[in-house]
Amino acid sequence: MSALFQPFRLRDVTVPNRVWMAPMCQYSAAPAGPDTGAPNDWHFAHYAARAAGGTGLILVEATAVSAEGRISPYDLGIWNDTQVEAFRRITRFLVSQGTVPGIQLAHGGRKASTDQPWKGGAPVGPDTYGWQPVAPSPVAFDERHPVPDELTVTQIGEVIGQFADAARRALAAGFEVAEIHGAHGYLINEFLSPHSNHRTDAYGGSYENRTRFALEVVDAVREVWPDDKPLFFRISATDWLEDGGWTADDTVRFAADLRAHGIDLLDVSTGGNASGVHIPTGPGYQVPFAARVKAGTSLSVAAVGLITEAEQAEKILANDEADAVLLGRELLRNPSWARHAARELGGEVHVPDQYHRSV
């Protein structure tokens, strides 16, 4: 029987298959007004299509824990009850299709306050719904981005509280899985890496200090997230720097720490924290990083990155390189990828009654 279409249980949540949707920002929420940050018809149609296509778990895109935590003014947020109510429409439909609804909780850090990518993605100011970004250190991401304000220890505590509040709201919105976004050069990743964290206090310098903020966020979220529901962490396994960055060895070490603090699965990506680096992309190029974590720890792992073919995904699981695969662009191209893969591999997947003629 196909490994890709075996159910996967984490705590008391069972995902019907191992084809999962990676969080991908849509940059389509209202940037201002009463519906700021709330999902709308676009988001509903986008996620509903992938659920109807048989995807086992959908991780809703990076959803900001505060208004200034958005990557762009057009990002989703979950810092108020209006947003919670709008998310309920999505989670109800996903559950009706047998899909487990998950959400990625995020803070953009020094890469926040940028325009929609199809408009160039440049930083935006107050005249176009923007704001001043914050970070562990006053170090700009690149020459285009402004120098961020350095977070004080008091402000760090406030952000940790925002993650916990967002988790409470995610639960009220009907999500079964929460993922903490610690990757791609956003705030938590900025604290982890010595490339972006130049602090000299308890949140900078040593490995223990640089990981402190991330683990305090995990602890705060785990305290309010129910014991019967799984908590994920997305990480960039490497900065792709030859020196002075976060490394694959750091990731394996940190995975064990995350496990001890209540993380159930590590979503392994790479890059995003250093500009101008060369990333040797190719089919499954990030899978070896997931495989290292799986081999070196007891933590469950999901692999992501140019996984496009059913047989490719099947081999990743059969070779014990990961416990599940996360598809991104391929699910944008083909919302019914899971159904097509099940047909190819002889697996079973949910098909809506209305689509019975497609089987």
Residues carrying an active site annotation: 186
In the chain, the N- to C-terminal Cα span, in Å, equals 19
Name the token pair of 111: 């890469």
Residues β-bridged to residue 134: 149
Cα 204 from Cα 12, distance rounded (Å):
36
- Structure tokens that stand for 283 in this block: 């089919």
- Rounded to whole angstroms, the Cα distance separating 25 from 39 reads 12
Helices of type H across the chain: 41-52, 81-96, 153-172, 187-192, 207-210, 212-224, 248-260, 287-296, 310-318, 329-333, 337-345
Identify the bridge partners of residue 19 per DSSP, sorted by sequence position: 325
Closest CA to 352 of 35, 55, 34: 55
